[in-house]
Structure 1
Amino acid sequence: MRFRALLTTAALGAALGVPAAAPPAMAAPPGCTATDADIYAAAPAAVPGNPGDLLACRPAKLTNIPGDVPMKAWKVRYVSTDAKGAKNVVTGTVAVPDAAWTKGGSRPTVAFNPGTLGSGQQCAFSKQLAGQYVDMYEGANLTLFLKAGYAVAATDGVGYLNGQVHTYMVGANAGHALLDIVRTSRQVPGGTLTPDGKVGISGYSEGGAAALWGAQLAASYAPELDVAGAAAGGVPGDLKVTAKQLNGSLFAGFLADALVGLHATHPEMPFDELMNDRGKQAIKDVGSNCLYGTLAVFLGAKVENFSTDGLSLDQIYALKGPGGVTWGDIVDRQKLGAGIGTPSSAAKYKIGFPVFQYRGWLEEIIPHETEDATRQAYCKAGISTTWKNTYPAEHLSTDWGAAGDVTNFLGDRFEGKPAQGNC
């Protein structure tokens, strides 16, 4: 399926519809009786607990995971750490197959970050999996993990609580939230996951960037997790290269999401005061739409049209905030593959497990050069890397086309099989 065809049908159709009523949840186990309002309530001024601590949970029926896989599932609210080192609150989903794990050791968990869903509060992956809104496309990917017997710990990412906006493409936020939901998954009352279970990391597109950030941060941020491997596809490794291609394109909505998400993380930087009336409306549009609605609103939009001075991307990057930090400095902090190395190196980010990276041959959204460069950086750093760019598909359909390879790659790592990298 071509992404453009999907865009023209979905963007102006079902994606802009009214969210469906939530399905009834299963009976709650003791201590897991939060309401939906509790899960998504505004974050407190002072966040209690430690990263990964479970704050609230409620059983959920995941109607948007096809295949009728018997499972127990919960929405969760948990503690994480933001890009500035402060504690924050994140939401997500934990799902555990009912079938007994029979392959030796403890049941493994796939830490999953979805691809772009949009920044409106209704877009949270945990809500969409439970059928409360339908504008996502990865339920069948999770089916493969669950059928293989793996638990799934799927983060919504930062910014889906009441009064927030999603911090789209902020690397540390994404990586921390992805690792912390694995910690959280082992605390759910009535759950069966144990601290010694192996962990696989997975994501595509926005989720691919989050997966690699999780891989890069795992050793320093969550050293107790036994991460066996990471799979990341469609990765926008360099946001400046990606933004240049997105600006004025059919997919400019992704750029709008990123600009607003970076501002949400760095409110101290110049932003709101730069906007003209169209820019002020654009901020509202990002905060109210999901994926296809955002793409439809920003179809062909150029960043130069949203500020009073007609600022280009390069001019925005040059703007300074407190201490002389520029927007360009902040964007560069999100670049993947920088400062990475093996466990025996002196690198900032040490990766001691194999990585699978991939993209579609007909990729039309993320520039090939940044996806290829991220892979090359991993190879140069000596990290076992498997690369595949021969899927005969464009951006969205590559996510589905590679799902079997991702499941098999992580399955082999869970079984302790050596990876055959192809650097």
Structure 2
Amino acid sequence: MRLRTLLTSTALAAAAVAVPAAVAAPPAVAAPAGCTASEADIYAAAGGVSGNPGDLLACREVKLSNIPGDIPMKGYKVRYVSTDAKGAKNVVTGTVAVPTAAWTKGGSRPTVAFNPGTLGSGQQCAFSKQLAGQFVDMYEGGNLALFLKAGYAVAATDGVGYVAGQVHTYMIGANAGHALLDAVRSSRQIPGGTLKPDGKVGISGYSEGGAASLWGAQLASSYAPELDVVGAAAGGVPGDLKLTAKQLNGSLFAGFLADALVGLNAAYPEMPFNELMNDQGKQAIKDVKGNCLFGTLAVFLGAKVENYSKQKLTLDQLYALKGPDGTSWGEIVDRQKLGVDIGTASSGAKYKIGFPVFQYRGWLEEIIPHETEDGTRAAYCKAGINTTWKNTYPTEHLSTDWGAAGDVTNFLGDRFEGKPVKGNC
């Protein structure tokens, strides 16, 4: 089903959902004795954060009812330590799924680090809650089923901002990449778990998850050098947020832009934002914080950013605004651009990538500008990264996620088996 049709039908019934009240944070601890944490423990407010990146703070064994196929597995919700874009420790939640069938292909069972596509910013939208059947507004349970049927474990991050009192920092690159890598670290600390430190790691995500996947790839060697990352797959990637925002503004999919603006404010609260809003803008912030994917798209159908601030500020005018240290919004948005200062493992680049990457998009892509998806691929090729590219799926944005799922699983499976791949730059 095309996303445009799905959105139209959803918009007729969409309504805002209230954000749950904050819950007091439990004390931060290192490895829990068992996976007996309550729901409140998993999603409690962060409070003071101690421990190292990837430390498991709490876990809860759950049935992942929204992964189809009745695959025998152990499923867990996890709460773990990560690092935000400013270098401060934070708390992130996620899901770990491990097949119960023995791994028989040699070595330790590999893990797919997975970041979902856009789910929305409401607390109820967390991927871990949706996989467990507590809310249904997601579409990637089948993708995870393919990984699990192949025998791979999955460490799926919710991303930053789904604990009580926070807002999802949508499209903040370092936050996403760190949270994704730390999900793998935490998966190996589950009490009684079977995942080993030497297990190979593949990274995967589409759309928002595709950007997170490439950020995880770019940060892996410096942030988590002990992880044996062997490949990354990323599709529908909004690599340049300025190009993407320009296309989204006033479109059927302006809700993604609304999520991004509120997410930027959540990550950089010192920057001018709330004080700029008119009454419509104040309501828009509440709408973003209360809705999941389709509710947000319905509320902001055709919305233009100029209508939400007192001075009718355009995107370019917003980018020009500066914070207390002189940094502009435009500079912060540019920091999220993918493919900048990347290089091979032997290069002097800031972000070193020493493993193959698979990038892809649908031929009928209608949400993310082709220029930025193609441009991200071109930047990786120019940097000498072993890049496989495919843009021939006869699909639009949402259906490409499903249409490419088999190729993604096979690409990562080949990397786990150590098969060589020659990119098609």
> Could you state the TM-score of these two structures normalised by the residue count of structure 1?
0.96
* Match status 1:165 vs 2:174: no
Indicate yes or no: 2:89 matched with 1:87. yes
Give ranges in structure 2 of 5+ residues lacking alignment: 20-31
Aligned twin of 2:45: 42
Which of 178, 182, 185 aligns to 1:183? It is: 185
Shift of 1:175: 0.2
Q: For residue 126 of structure 2, what is the aligned residue in structure 1? A: 124
Q: What's the counterpart of residue 22 of structure 1?
A: none
Other-structure match for 1:334:
336
The residue aligned with 1:2 is 2
Residue 230 of structure 1 pairs with residue 232 of structure 2? yes
Partner-residue secondary structure (3-state), 2:325: helix
Task: Look up the match of 2:212.
Answer: 210
Instruction: Establish whether residue 221 from structure 1 lines up as the match of residue 223 from structure 2.
Output: yes
Distance 1:379 1:277 in 2: 46
In the TM superposition, residue 191 of structure 1 has moved relative to its aligned partner by 1.0
Code of the residue aligned with 2:38 in structure 1: it is T
Q: Matched residue of 1:267: which SS?
A: coil
1:54-203 matches, within 5 Å, as 54-203=56-205
**Residue deviations 1:209-258 (CA, integer Å, cap 9, x gap):** 00000000000000000001000000000000000000000000000000
Distance in 2 of aligned mates of 1:188 and 1:71: 14
| Contact 1:15-1:290 within 8 A present in 2 as well | no
Matched, 1:32 2:20: no
Helix, strand or coil at the partner of 2:81: strand
| Offset from partner CA, 1:347-384 (integer Å, 9 cap, x none) | 00000000000000000000000000000000000000
Return the offset for 1:12: 3.5
Q: Alignment RMSD, CA only? A: 1.3
Task: Check whether the contact 2:16–2:287 (CA below 8 A) recurs between aligned residues.
Answer: no
> Are the equivalent residues in 1 in contact too, given 2:75–2:98 (CA < 8 A)?
yes
1:344 corresponding residue in structure 2: 346
Matches of 2:33 and 2:53 in 1, distance apart? Answer: 23
Query: How many residues align structurally?
Result: 413
Displacement of 1:10 in angstroms is 2.9
Give the TM-score normalised by structure 2.
0.96
1:252 counterpart letter in structure 2: A
What CA distance in whole angstroms lies between the structure 2 residues aligned with 1:407 and 1:154?
A: 15
- Determine what percentage of the aligned residue pairs are the same residue: 85
How many Å apart are 1:190 and its aligned residue? 1.9
Describe the SS at the equivalent of 2:330: helix
Q: How does 1:403-414 map to 2 (within 5 A)?
A: 403-414=405-416
Is the contact between residue 15 and residue 135 of structure 1 (CA under 8 Å) also seen in structure 2?
Answer: no
What is the rounded CA distance, in whole Å, between the counterparts of 1:228 and 1:188 in structure 2?
Answer: 23
**Are residue 391 (structure 1) and residue 374 (structure 2) matched?**
no
8 Å Cα contact 2:10-2:298 kept in structure 1: no
Q: Are residues 333 and 65 of structure 1, via their aligned partners in 2, closer, same or farther at CA, if it must alter by over 3 Å?
A: same
CA contact (8 A) 2:342 2:351 kept: yes
Counterpart CA distance in 1 for 2:232 and 2:324 is 36
Amino acid at match of 1:42: A
Provide the rounded CA distance (Å) in 2 between the counterparts of 1:30 and 1:228: 31
In the TM superposition, residue 15 of structure 1 has moved relative to its aligned partner by: 8.3
